Amino acid sequence: MTSVLTDEFVEALRARSQAYHDQHPFHVRMNAGRLSRRQLQGWVANRFYYQICIPRKDAAILANCPDVEVRRRWIRRIVDHDGTGPGEGGIEAWLRLGEAVGLTREEMLSERHLVPGVRFAVDAYVTFARTRPWVEAVASSLTELFAPDLMAERLAAFERYYPWIDGDGLAYFRARLHQAPRDSEHALEVVTRYCLTADEQARAVAALSFKCDVLWSVMDGIDRAYPE
């Protein structure tokens, strides 16, 4: 009975993930090579705010999580983004992406291009991770689980359609090719271990739905600020 319940749970998560932001019209245009330099810069600058908030979200999960084994593995996410020293980590890699598309570090760090709607959506996600039960916050991270080819598709699109971008600036995407599957596999292990009742599983699916809405709202904000 438990196995059946778990299988249905995973399928519910899979179905919810179909609202992932890679289907957003702006994202579709990006992967089809239809963005202008300014639009691409706007996406990079605004997604940077999401990138710098990811470690804060993961730190909130760690602070609320009582399971030492989960914490030992989850902390790798923070190290991946912050690095262990200057010039390391995903945030640094995203800054280099910004430079590769023609932005300065000062522009990105000052948040001068940040759209209010993007800030609101990302801050809401950090607040969710800080205030909701930690297992629900873990479930919200499963947006990556059912999009295993997303990063590879994005990387291929950038290399094919935007050759003016220095290839070294795409290091973030290359790193996520192996980090994302590892992270999402662990998150799925956690939620299937801890979410055993129908109510717990429903809340986990709702958390994933919320995260999908956050990412979609981020893309909406960028799309409005940088129209076609």
Can you give the pLDDT at residue 148? 58
Look-up of token digits 């196995």:
3
Rounded CA gap, 192 and 200, in Å?
10
For residue 33, with 0-12 CB atoms within 10 Å meaning exposed, 13-18 middle and 19 or more buried, which class applies? exposed
Do residues 89 and 82 lie in contact, with contact meaning Cβ atoms separated by under 8 Å? yes
80-99 pLDDT per residue, tens:
999 999 999 999 999 999 99
Look-up of token digits 């609202």:
19
Domain containing 159: what range?
Answer: 2-225
- To the nearest 5 percent, what fractions of the chain are helix, strand and coil? 80, 0, 20
Percent of all residues in the chain with a pLDDT value above 70, rounded to a whole number: 95
Here the CATH number for the domain that contains residue 14 is: 1.20.910.10
Rounded CA gap, 10 and 17, in Å?
11
pTM: 0.94
Distances (CA, A) of 58 to 12, 35, 187, 209: 24, 31, 12, 18
Q: Which of 211, 63, 201 is nearest to 145 (CA)?
A: 211
99-135 pLDDT per residue, tens:
999 999 999 999 999 999 999 999 999 999 999 999 9
Percent of all residues in the chain with a pLDDT value above 90, rounded to a whole number: 85
Tell me: pLDDT of 1 over 50: no
Q: What is the number of structural domains in the chain?
A: 1
